[in-house]
Amino acid sequence: MAVNRLSHLARPPRDVPARVRAALLANRLTMSGVLAFGLASAALAGFTWAGDPSADYRLDRDRRETPGVLMGRDGSGEPIRYAYAFAGPDGTRRDGISYAYPGKGVDRDEPITVEYSPSDPHLSRIKGTHVTLYPKGVQLVVIPLLLFIVAAGLVLAQRGLARGARWIRLLRVGELTLATVTTCRLTWDRPGPELPLDEFRARYAERLARAPARRASEVMRGQYYAFAVLGLVVGLAGVATMVWAIAVKRGASMIPVTLFLVAWVLIVGLMIRAALRTARSFSERGTFIGDAILPARTALPRGADPVAVEMTLEFPTRRGGPVRVTGIALLNPRLGEDPTEEVLYDPEAPSDAILLDALPVPLGAGASGGWQRVGPGGALVRMGAMLLALGFGLPVVAWTLWLIARP
């Protein structure tokens, strides 16, 4: 183990290449948060483009009424789009657009009353209609929900980045040693007692004979492909269709709409590509590694049932007494005659430790004594998708919050 694959590893501090850093920072938790943030911010862009979310509420607070003239009515689809004209407080003609659903608007020959803001006459609507494509009730529910998803996505991304930064720090300054698995406790299905490893294997072997299952890698590969398809349908088709429909209804220029759709296709395409690369990586390594531990050398054979367990591991330190750490792992009790794992720990705080095989990227020692990635790449693609999503979404969120907060 450490003698072979990491025999050339230098003493700390070690070099951690940019590609390894990118792979650790763009981990599953980070990318899940970025995906949620990107989808929600794109949907938020569509809703704010459909109209100022605070416009109707501002008119409700302070408005004046004046006669107007109905200039046109687009009756195709819902909502119905009304074009009108009215004389502003200074006598200048002003044009406006407002929307209403069938049964709540005005007829072609019916005289109309226009409501406008005395402080901003450009803000107006036909009485009984709304300024934006969506009524106030929809915006009151959808926009806070999207902002919540945006915030949750940013929190997940921040936690993922913090986790990746911790991994990078331990790779750089951590001491490498071997840890022994001492006890296991079942955490999947019903929690079980904490048992020595051999006894746990013996008890769980009986369950394997009664309930065979697929390889863990096959299960996780299926989940990642499902994740990718969901991202394709919801992220690409759903958001793009919504933005296109809003553009057609508003009669907007197709040039900026097309540019937005091209950028969105690129972002979602990169996210899907990253998910598929991860799925293929799990399939090739036979492992699923997140917070879990399933070493590459213990790929589950067909018919084995991987089980989530809470493992206690013990390892010595340079300063003396053994240190114990716990972690959730996928364990197959038929495998692993040698219950040891490679561990990196902080010599200043030995309880801060990670299992090397628990990292989301396979690593080995490079010729210079630093770390190098072993196996397929894809980290730079994920980092690119993350930066594009954040670069697009953060201005959208800031603009939305400004629209809502302004008087």
DSSP letters for 86-134 = EE-TTS-EEEEEEEE-TTSS--TTS-EEEEE-SS-TTSEEETTSBSSSS
79 and 172 share a domain?
no
Indicate whether 285 and 254 sit together in one domain: yes
Cβ within 8 Å of residue 144, ≥6 positions away: none
How far apart, in whole angstroms, are the C-alpha atoms of residue 155 and residue 161? 10
| pLDDT for the residue 255 | 56
Amino acid 162: pLDDT: 92
* Model confidence at 193: pLDDT above 60: yes
The answer to whether 401 and 54 are in contact (CB under 8 A) is: no
Residues 82 and 111 in one domain: yes
Residues 273, 150, single domain; the answer is: yes
95 shares a domain with 23: no
Q: What is the pLDDT of residue 295?
A: 36
Q: How far apart are CA 54 and CA 400, in angstroms?
A: 10
How does residue 261 score in pLDDT terms, banded at 50, 70 and 90?
low
State whether 267 and 331 are in the same domain: yes
d(CA 206, CA 299): 20
Domain contains 242: yes
Could you read off the pLDDT of 2-55 as tens digits, one per residue?
445 566 777 778 888 888 888 888 888 888 888 888 878 877 877 777 677 788
CA distances to 222, 229, 382 from 226, rounded to whole Å, are 6, 5, 18
Which position has the token pair 């030995």? 350
- pLDDT for the residue numbered 405: 73
Q: Does 304 lie in the same domain as 277?
A: yes
Domain that holds residue 352: 18-47+143-402
What is the helix (H) or strand (E) element at residue 176, kind and residue range? strand 175-186
Is 356 part of any domain? Answer: yes
For tokens 């406008």, what's the residue?
116
Q: What is the pLDDT of the chain when averaged over all its residues?
A: 71
What is the torsional sign of CA 136, 137, 140, 145? Answer: negative
Question: Does 350 sit behind a cis peptide bond, omega within 30 degrees of 0 on the bond before it?
Answer: no
Identify the residue with better confidence: 76 or 34.
34
Q: Is the pLDDT of residue 291 over 60?
A: no
- ∠ at Cα 28 (394, 392), nearest 5°? 15
Q: Is residue 70 part of a domain?
A: yes
Number of domains present in the structure of the chain: 2
Identify whether 8 is part of a domain. Answer: no
Lowest mean pLDDT among 177-181, 218-222, 403-407: 218-222
Q: How far apart are CA 29 and CA 59, in angstroms?
A: 42
Could you tell me if 117 and 148 lie in one domain?
no
**255 and 191 in one domain?**
yes
Please state which of the ranges 137-151, 169-183, 186-200 shows the lowest mean pLDDT: 186-200
In a domain, 11, yes or no: no
- Strand duo 195-196 + 175-186: pairing: antiparallel
Predicted pLDDT of residue 337: 56
How much is the average pLDDT of 353-382? 72
Of 103, 131, 159, the residue at which a domain comes to its end is 131
In this prediction, residues 193-211 reach a mean pLDDT of 69
Give how far Cα 305 sits from Cα of 166, 186, 299, 312, 327, Å: 32, 13, 12, 21, 19
| DSSP codes joined into one string, 275-303 | HHHHHHHHHHHT---SSS---GGGPPPTT
* 315-367 pLDDT per residue, tens: 887 776 788 877 665 555 444 555 677 788 888 888 888 877 777 777 777 77
| Structure confidence at residue 158 (pLDDT) | 92
The verdict on residue 260 lying in a domain is yes
**Segment among 96-110, 215-229, 331-345 with least mean pLDDT:** 215-229
356 or 67, greater pLDDT: 67
**137 assigned to some structural domain:** no
- Residue 107: phi, psi to the nearest 5? -85, 165
Q: List all residues 6 or more positions away from 330 whose beta carbon is below 8 Å from its beta carbon.
A: 216, 288, 292, 293, 294, 306, 307, 308, 309
Q: How far is CA 211 from CA 50, 184, 200, 329, 364, in A?
A: 54, 20, 16, 19, 36
Mean pLDDT across the stretch 273-295? Answer: 44
Exposure of 257 in the CB half-sphere (CA atoms within 13 A): 19
Q: Taking 80 as the threshold, does the pLDDT of residue 268 lie above it?
A: no
Shared domain for 209 and 121, answered yes or no, is no
pLDDT at 212 over 60: no
User: 306: which DSSP letter?
Assistant: -
Structure tokens at 218: 């096959």
- Whether 369 and 380 have beta carbons less than 8 Å apart is answered as no
- Ranges 43-57, 82-96, 127-141, 384-398, most confident: 82-96
Per-residue pLDDT, averaged over 280-303, amounts to: 38
User: For residues 132, 136, 140 and 145, what is the CA-based torsion angle, rounded to 10 degrees?
Assistant: -40
Is 138 inside any structural domain?
no
Which residues, at least 6 apart from 135, have a Cβ–Cβ distance to it below 8 Å?
A: 101
The pLDDT tens digits for 116-158 are 888 888 888 888 888 887 777 777 788 888 888 889 989 999 9
On whether both 71 and 163 belong to a single domain, the answer is: no
Q: Is 166 found in the same domain as 78?
A: no
Is residue 260 scored above 70 in pLDDT? no
